Amino acid sequence: MTRPDWIAVDWGTSHLRAYAMGPEGILAEVTSDDGMGSLAREAYEPALLRLVEGWLEDGRRTPVIACGMVGSRQGWMEAPYRAVPCAPMDPAALVAVPTRDGRLDVRLVPGLKQAKPADVMRGEETQIAGALTLWPQFDGVLCLPGTHSKWVRVSAGEVVGFQTFMTGELFALLSESSVLRHAMTGGGWDPAAFAEAVSDALSRPERIAARLFTIRAESLIAGLGGDAARARLSGLLIGIELAASRPYWLGQEVALIGADPLTSAYAEALAMQGVPARHLAGSAAVVAGLAAAAGKVPA
Amino acid sequence: MTRPDWIAVDWGTSHLRAYAMGPEGILAEVTSDDGMGSLAREAYEPALLRLVEGWLEDGRRTPVIACGMVGSRQGWMEAPYRAVPCAPMDPAALVAVPTRDGRLDVRLVPGLKQAKPADVMRGEETQIAGALTLWPQFDGVLCLPGTHSKWVRVSAGEVVGFQTFMTGELFALLSESSVLRHAMTGGGWDPAAFAEAVSDALSRPERIAARLFTIRAESLIAGLGGDAARARLSGLLIGIELAASRPYWLGQEVALIGADPLTSAYAEALAMQGVPARHLAGSAAVVAGLAAAAGKVPA
């Protein structure tokens, strides 16, 4: 029977993932599709209980630390943004959520905001905090690829500034819902098409609006295959992200936080620019960051 | 009772529009939602009959000339692309479609293709042909804003080259299906926000990937209103289209073909660059182009 000291929760728009945490680290892990996007306010506590009830003990309030969109205005309860520059995690700023079930002691991690250029993050601050517990001396640039990719400057343990790119959401919309979806046959990948598209977009980013439809046209009249089409779309979008984030990575070492194969694609695109990158798995970063929030030394 | 000489049909992905044509021009006009996107092959003839049956006479085959996605591979019957450079319309290249109903004599207008850079159009060739019947001496650049905007070079009555931009489709996806939809409250428009975004995107197109999410962030933490958000998104997307289409419009007069308010937005963006534009309504261009296909002098 799993009896965690506390429970770490990564609760995003489309997923809910809970970790039973013991003195040595993760004891068990469970997931569901009960993301913020599909839950009304009163549905959060039942969704959490469905997943973790077996870990709770009568007569004891188990700490639950949750990060991600669960703390947004449309989430369980709003955990107001903290303003950068600041440390990515402040255990004193966690927002307690009242629960019906007395065995739960739920607290939400606030996101971060930046006044100018206006920007926000929610969930990534926990991954950044996790990276800093694992690499305490880190000073430099983090890149968190994803639906809304983040480029983050970290110095002396604080987030100094950051910038969000809609790269992942654009890829999903264009490859699944636009006319380009007809070109995305099969499920493969063409590394050469990716590399060429990254270079193309980086050297002539102003042509991006023209380059997208060419994927459709080449698919119709020039035999462009599905693997090359998908890789080229990804390369064009990552390429214009790199064009706009150049001040972040130029002459820097970059640490990538996230899951493969996406982080590998970013690593390859950065390597083509002569930029070395190290890598931390996103799930490890989340758990380490939530442990920092819970005041636990990572195992 | 309407008894047309022939029937002009504009049949796109999401709409079907038919015009009863007499010696003086349009006698009547009917529309439905039976676009290519919602029709199986065997459903085209019934969809057309539902709309135009009242115009047909027993014992006579009424010519029906149709342009648009109805002639695509996924349409009623494929009308293979003609390769540029060529005249936008060749009555001899119309593709006859067999029909069950003997009162119909249906012919489809082929689209145009360009080998390099690979590009295609289907429907716009008819608008271009229409513009050339109305402006027979036209020599220069046409811009047809829309879901897939086209920039077209015309010389000596021929389409010399063209380039497609996914601007309209990107605007629809981003404003209706992305995280930016939350910022698009109300239905208004902010002209100053539009103008600023056009300038911004034209002068620094490489920053487009960074500028999009700022709309969401400013809406969350800086009070950006819905009208300004919508106008800024439109301005950014039209701005990067103008950045990539600069070789078409720089130092040229441009003729815009399409519907307001979209063509007015393009006209304003071009005027900001010192480029004058004249304007032809898209529906008038389609009917004039189909009349050219039918061998009729426009009224």
User: pLDDT tens across B86-131, in order?
Assistant: 999 999 999 999 999 999 999 999 999 999 999 999 999 999 999 9
For residue B186, name the pLDDT band (cuts at 50, 70, 90): confident
DSSP letter for B182, please: G
Burial degree of A223 (CB within 10 A; 0-12, 13-18, 19+): exposed
| CB of A237 less than 8 A from some CB of B | yes
At residue A142's C-alpha, the angle toward residues A139 and A148, to 5°, is: 155
| A189 in the same domain as A105 | no
| B178 in the same domain as B83 | no
Residues of A in contact with B171 (CB under 8 A): none
For residue B234, name the pLDDT band (cuts at 50, 70, 90): very high
| B172 in the same domain as B272 | yes
Contact criterion met (CB below 8 Å) for B291 and B129: no
| A169 in the same domain as A118 | no
| CB of B119 less than 8 A from some CB of A | yes
What chain A residue is nearest to B163 in terms of C-alpha separation?
A210
pLDDT in tens, B202-233: 999 989 988 999 999 999 999 999 999 999 99
Q: Is the pLDDT of residue A297 over 90?
A: no
SS3 call for B183: helix
* Contact (CB<8Å) A120/B81: no
d(Cα B211, Cα B200) in Å, to the nearest integer? 9
Residues of B in contact with A244 (CB under 8 A): 206-210
* Contact (CB<8Å) A115/B148: no
Q: Which of A170, A179, A209 sits opposite B241 (nearest CB)?
A: A209
Residues of A in contact with B115 (CB under 8 A): 221-222
> What token pair was written down for B129?
């042909």
B34 located within any domain: yes
Q: Among residues of chain A, what percentage have pLDDT more than 90?
A: 94
d(Cα B132, Cα B127) in Å, to the nearest integer? 9
* Contact (CB<8Å) B222/A166: no
Q: Among residues of chain B, what percentage have pLDDT more than 90?
A: 94
Supply the pLDDT for residue A298. Answer: 55
Q: Which residue, among A106, A104, A86, has the nearest Cα to A96 in the 3D structure? A: A106
| A175 in the same domain as A76 | no
| CB of B241 less than 8 A from some CB of A | yes
Q: Is the pLDDT of residue A299 over 90?
A: no
- Better-scored residue on pLDDT, A211 or A187: A211
Beta bridge partners of A7: A20, A64
| CB of A244 less than 8 A from some CB of B | yes
pLDDT in tens, B252-273: 989 999 999 999 999 999 999 9
Which residue of B74, B148, B166, B218 is the best one to mutate when testing the A interface, meaning the one whose CB has the most A CBs within 10 A?
Answer: B166
| CB of B213 less than 8 A from some CB of A | yes
Instruction: Give the domain CATH number at B196.
Output: 3.30.420.310
Residues of A in contact with B113 (CB under 8 A): 217, 220-221
| CB of A297 less than 8 A from some CB of B | no
Q: Is the pLDDT of residue B298 over 60?
A: no
CA B12, distance to chain mean position in Å, is 9
Q: Is the pLDDT of residue B141 over 70?
A: yes
For residue B154, name the pLDDT band (cuts at 50, 70, 90): very high
Supply the pLDDT for residue A272. Answer: 97
Q: Is the pLDDT of residue A267 over 70?
A: yes
Q: Is the pLDDT of residue B200 over 80?
A: yes
* Contact (CB<8Å) B207/A164: no
d(Cα B14, Cα B24) in Å, to the nearest integer? 29
| A270 in the same domain as A190 | yes
* Overall domain count for chain B: 2
Tell me the residue type at A268: E
Instruction: Give the domain CATH number at B22.
Output: 3.30.420.300
For residue A253, name the pLDDT band (cuts at 50, 70, 90): confident
| CB of A135 less than 8 A from some CB of B | no
| CB of B78 less than 8 A from some CB of A | no
Looking at every residue in chain B, the average pLDDT score rounds to 96
B150 located within any domain: no
Rounded average pLDDT over A106-126 = 98
Rounded average pLDDT over A241-258 = 95
| A190 in the same domain as A267 | yes
To the nearest whole Å, the CA of B243 is away from the closest chain A CA by 6
| B270 in the same domain as B204 | yes
* Contact (CB<8Å) A240/B164: no
Supply the pLDDT for residue A152. Answer: 98
Of A81-85, A280-284, B204-208, which range is least confident? B204-208
**Which residues of chain A from 217 to 236 reach within 8 Å of chain B, CB to CB?**
217-218, 220-222, 224
B25 located within any domain: yes
Supply the pLDDT for residue A197. Answer: 98
For residue A278, name the pLDDT band (cuts at 50, 70, 90): very high
Residues of B in contact with A177 (CB under 8 A): 173, 177
A118 located within any domain: yes
Residues of B in contact with A205 (CB under 8 A): 205-206, 208
pLDDT in tens, A26-57: 999 999 999 998 999 999 999 999 999 999 99
Rounded average pLDDT over A192-221 = 95
SS3 call for B7: strand
pLDDT in tens, A141-191: 999 999 999 999 999 999 999 999 999 999 999 999 999 999 999 889 999
To the nearest whole Å, the CA of B101 is away from the closest chain A CA by 32
Q: Which residue, among B214, B37, B207, has the nearest Cα to A242 in the 3D structure? A: B207
B290 located within any domain: no
B153 located within any domain: no
| B108 in the same domain as B52 | yes
| A173 in the same domain as A105 | no
| CB of B117 less than 8 A from some CB of A | yes
* Contact (CB<8Å) B163/A207: no
> What token pair was written down for B78?
């494929």
A110 located within any domain: yes
Supply the pLDDT for residue B297. Answer: 66
Q: What ipTM does the predicted assembly reach?
A: 0.92
Report CA torsion sign: A33, A37, A38, A42. Answer: positive
| B195 in the same domain as B93 | no
Residues of B in contact with A170 (CB under 8 A): 178
Supply the pLDDT for residue B193. Answer: 98
| CB of A210 less than 8 A from some CB of B | yes
Q: Which of A179, A206, A243 sits opposite B243 (nearest CB)?
A: A206
| CB of A165 less than 8 A from some CB of B | yes
A51 located within any domain: yes
Domain of residue A198 covers: 165-281
Supply the pLDDT for residue B254. Answer: 96
| A169 in the same domain as A116 | no
What chain A residue is nearest to B222 in terms of C-alpha separation?
A118
Which residue of A148, A212, A224, A248 is the best one to mutate when testing the B interface, meaning the one whose CB has the most B CBs within 10 A?
Answer: A212
For residue A296, name the pLDDT band (cuts at 50, 70, 90): confident
Name the H helices within chain B.
Answer: 44-52, 124-134, 167-177, 191-203, 208-221, 226-244, 246-249, 262-272, 282-293
Supply the pLDDT for residue A57. Answer: 95
Residues of B in contact with A207 (CB under 8 A): 244
| CB of B167 less than 8 A from some CB of A | yes
Supply the pLDDT for residue A40. Answer: 95
pLDDT in tens, B49-87: 999 999 999 999 999 999 999 999 999 999 999 999 999
